[in-house]
């Protein structure tokens, strides 16, 4: 489903050439749960941005369902994200002046859903993440764990086939982190492909596969605990 | 969730930041509306005043003086009647009415009066104060120019119809003349050896005109034996045109004549109107610069502050067109609110301050609402376009912590 072919990314920063990706190759089949780990600056987030059609590579190609993402123009890629990709971020990136339910409604508004169906779907998702009683609270009125749950609900709003998570547990306590990973496992079990960038080894272990990135290249791949258990 | 929900929520969340830009546009529009409103009613008042005074521009022989405005045609000097034709044939805008006059002193029953030759319709149209005579209707507004000698267009036909009304043997007499000579309508009187019948006695005006006997211009010319000459041409000039240099234009057309205006009124009130008009233009320029700069500055800051939010929206699938619309809709709301608010406050100020500042009663002008909202919206949209475009071109990667 997701495929990277010899992807590289270089850019200039203060006159110096920086290599963020260096000939990375990866194939992520439908329904996979892949964790990307590596030291800071190894290119993890760059790789995630490229998979999400938000950062064009300097070389190589990225495919989603056989479609070369960067052969599309920026509006075409926005359309692709809107229909097929759900993002979740380390800092949640909720819109601060909108309530929880309105934040979840954004992706639904973007695909042109009418107001009643937006509200019904947002209520369903917030109930699913345990925030039925916090729907009309603004992010500043919610705990960080609750904010990330709103972000998870928003991620699922358009029923995406691919979930891209950038350190989703990075700002959370261990218990809430556990809940977030549980939730990602749950959506993966529904058949969605999950790609997660993380520093947390325990979170990474929950994936089916772990890709290690170093200096912009995938240097190793190993199965996650779940896969090992299944194989055993 | 709709586009306007997204925009309005953001506006109300950060209203204090928007306040300066909103006030800049609100105050600017307020000032423009109040000045425009007061100027309009001030011009109307001046126009009415001019109208009530009759002619406001005089074309006189070069050597004449202007000690008595109403007796300016009684100094003996003459100019050719052909000047009337020249004026009427010209393409000068704002010459509302032309009244050529030739005056002679006459002695009747031991008393001295003035026999004044007129082209009748012109004379009556020029004198709004004589509306009560009921013989001719008075033109309304500017542009109802009379015809000229020898022309065959409609204006000339109108003039001929008027001449038929005032026959060679007919006169109109001023109130003092009628009183002193005991004249009434349908009486006859002898002037310079010619017998006339009194067609009408004119109502009292309080000016030298009350001592005049009006006859047809060409009859008076024959009686004076001076040929086709006149002493003066009274002109009703449009107030606006006078302020735009009508007098200078007439002077250029008739270099051998003296062209004067009622300076007390034309100079002071027209100058006030011109000043108000210039002020309004100046404020328009100021608001364009100050208001526009304030809005643009605010919008750039707003885009910078919201770049993470914009990146998030893009990550969720918003395209650049939607981001552009978000910011332009915000500008539109700002413009409409500033325009309506400015119109309301400006109108209240004009109605309250108009009588004190310009001595005129001011009424609200709904048409100014369109002008106010139009200027305000245009300004807000133009000032916001480049910040909005910057937002639409933001790199969505700003959403993420590291690249």
Tell me the two tokens of residue B254: 């008739």
Nearest Cα of chain B lies from the Cα of A87 at a distance, in angstroms, of 7
Return the pLDDT at B53: 56
Domains of chain A by start residue, with CATH: 28-41+79-231 (3.40.50.300)
> 3-state DSSP helix/strand/coil percent for chain B, to nearest 5?
60, 15, 25
> Model confidence over A141-187: pLDDT tens digits?
999 999 999 999 999 999 999 999 998 988 888 888 998 999 999 99
Q: Which ipTM score applies to this complex? A: 0.91
Give the count of beta carbons closer than 10 Å to the beta carbon of residue B134.
10
The SS3 of residue A105 is: helix
Q: Which residues 126-145 in chain A show a CB within 8 A of chain B?
A: none
Return the pLDDT at A223: 80
Yes or no: say if B292 and B379 are a contact pair by the CB < 8 Å rule: yes
Query: Which has more pLDDT, A73 or B139?
Result: A73
Yes or no: say if A195 and A201 are a contact pair by the CB < 8 Å rule: no
In chain B, count of helices (H) and strands (E)? 14, 11
* Cβ within 8 Å of residue B39, ≥6 positions away: B273, B276, B277, B280
> Model confidence over B321-358: pLDDT tens digits?
999 999 999 999 999 999 999 999 999 999 998 888 77
Query: Which has more pLDDT, B250 or A184?
Result: A184
> Model confidence over A216-228: pLDDT tens digits?
888 888 887 666 5
Buried b (16+ CB within 10 A) or exposed e, B120-130: bbbbbbbbbbb
Buried b (16+ CB within 10 A) or exposed e, B19-58: eebbebbbbbbbbbbbbbbbbbbbbebbbeebbebbbbbb
Return the pLDDT at B93: 73
B308 at A interface, C-beta within 8 A: yes
Task: Please count the CA atoms within 13 angstroms of the CA of A95 that sit on its side-chain side.
Answer: 28
> Is-above-0.90 flag for pTM?
no
Average pLDDT of every residue of chain A: 90
Return the pLDDT at B160: 31
What own/partner pairs with CB < 8 Å and gap ≥ 24 does A125-133 have? A125/A153, A125/A154, A125/A156, A125/A157, A126/A100, A126/A101, A126/A150, A126/A153, A128/A153, A128/A156, A129/A153, A129/A183, A131/A100
Least confident of A124-138, B72-86, B110-124: B110-124
Return the pLDDT at B243: 59
Q: Which residues 197-236 in chain B show a CB within 8 A of chain A?
A: none
> Model confidence over B41-87: pLDDT tens digits?
887 877 776 655 555 678 888 877 665 555 667 777 889 988 888 88
Mean pLDDT of B213-236: 87
Q: How confident is the model at residue A46 (pLDDT cuts 50, 70, 90)?
A: confident
> Model confidence over B352-399: pLDDT tens digits?
988 887 778 889 999 999 999 999 999 999 999 999 999 998 877 765
Q: Which residues 313-352 in chain B show a CB within 8 A of chain A?
A: 313-322
Mean pLDDT of A80-105: 92
Q: Which of B10, B316, B319 sits opposite A75 (nearest CB)?
A: B319
């Amino acid at each position: 489903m997701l495929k990277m072919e010899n992807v590289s990314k270089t850019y200039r920063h203060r006159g110096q050439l920086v290599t963020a990706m260096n000939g990375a190759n990866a194939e992520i089949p439908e329904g996979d749960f892949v964790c990307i780990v590596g030291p800071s600056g190894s290119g993890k987030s760059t790789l995630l941005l490229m998979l999400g059609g938000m950062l064009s590579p300097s070389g190589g190609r990225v495919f989603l369902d056989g479609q070369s993402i960067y052969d599309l123009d920026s509006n075409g890629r926005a359309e692709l994200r809107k229909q097929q990709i759900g993002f979740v971020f380390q800092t949640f990136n909720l819109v601060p002046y909108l309530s929880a339910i309105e934040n979840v409604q954004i992706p639904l508004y973007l695909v042109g859903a009418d107001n009643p169906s937006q509200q019904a779907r947002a209520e369903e998702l917030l109930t699913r993440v345990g925030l039925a009683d916090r729907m009309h609270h603004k992010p500043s009125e919610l705990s960080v764990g609750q904010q990330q749950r709103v972000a998870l609900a928003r991620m699922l709003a358009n029923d995406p086939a691919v979930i891209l998570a950038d350190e989703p547990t990075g700002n959370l306590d261990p218990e809430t982190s556990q809940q977030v990973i549980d939730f990602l496992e749950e959506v993966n079990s529904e058949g969605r492909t999950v790609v997660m960038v993380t520093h947390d080894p325990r979170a990474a272990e929950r994936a089916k596969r772990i890709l290690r990135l170093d200096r912009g290249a995938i240097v190793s791949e190993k199965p996650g605990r779940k896969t090992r258990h299944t194989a055993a | 969730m709709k586009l306007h929900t997204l925009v309005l929520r953001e506006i109300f969340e950060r209203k204090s930041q928007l306040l300066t830009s909103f006030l800049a546009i609100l105050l600017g529009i307020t000032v423009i509306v109040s000045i425009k409103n007061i100027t309009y009613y001030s011009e109307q008042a001046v126009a009415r005043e001019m109208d009530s005074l009759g002619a406001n521009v005089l074309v006189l022989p070069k050597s004449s003086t202007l000690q008595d405005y109403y007796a300016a045609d009684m100094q003996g000097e003459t100019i050719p009647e052909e000047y009337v034709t020249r004026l009427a044939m010209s393409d000068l805008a704002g010459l509302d009415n032309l009244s050529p006059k030739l005056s002679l002193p006459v002695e009747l029953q031991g008393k001295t009066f003035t026999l004044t030759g007129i082209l009748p319709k012109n004379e009556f149209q020029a004198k709004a104060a004589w509306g009560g005579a009921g013989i001719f209707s008075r033109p309304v507004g500017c542009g109802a120019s009379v015809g000229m000698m020898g022309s065959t267009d409609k204006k000339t036909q109108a003039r001929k119809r008027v001449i038929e009304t005032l026959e060679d043997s007919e006169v109109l007499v001023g109130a003092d003349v009628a009183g002193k000579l005991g004249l009434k309508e349908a009486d006859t009187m002898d002037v310079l050896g010619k017998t006339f019948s009194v067609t009408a006695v004119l109502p009292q005006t309080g000016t030298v005109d009350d001592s005049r006997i009006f006859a047809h211009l060409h009859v008076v010319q024959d009686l004076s034996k001076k040929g086709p000459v006149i002493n003066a041409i009274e002109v009703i000039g449009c107030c606006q045109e006078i302020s735009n240099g009508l007098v200078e234009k007439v002077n250029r057309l008739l270099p051998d004549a003296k062209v004067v205006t009622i300076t007390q009124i034309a100079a002071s009130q027209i100058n006030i109107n011109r000043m108000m008009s210039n002020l309004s233009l100046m404020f328009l320029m100021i608001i364009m610069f100050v208001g526009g700069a304030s809005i643009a500055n605010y919008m750039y800051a707003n885009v910078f502050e919201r770049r993470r939010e914009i990146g998030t929206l893009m990550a969720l699938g918003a395209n650049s067109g939607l981001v552009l619309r978000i910011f332009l809709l915000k500008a539109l709301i700002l413009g409409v609110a500033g325009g309506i608010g400015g119109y309301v406050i400006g109108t209240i100020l004009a109605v309250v301050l108009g009588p004190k500042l310009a001595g005129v009663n001011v009424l609200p002008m709904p048409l100014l609402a369109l002008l106010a909202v139009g200027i305000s919206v245009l300004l807000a949209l133009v000032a916001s376009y480049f910040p909005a475009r910057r937002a639409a071109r933001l790199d969505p990667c700003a959403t993420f912590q590291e690249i």
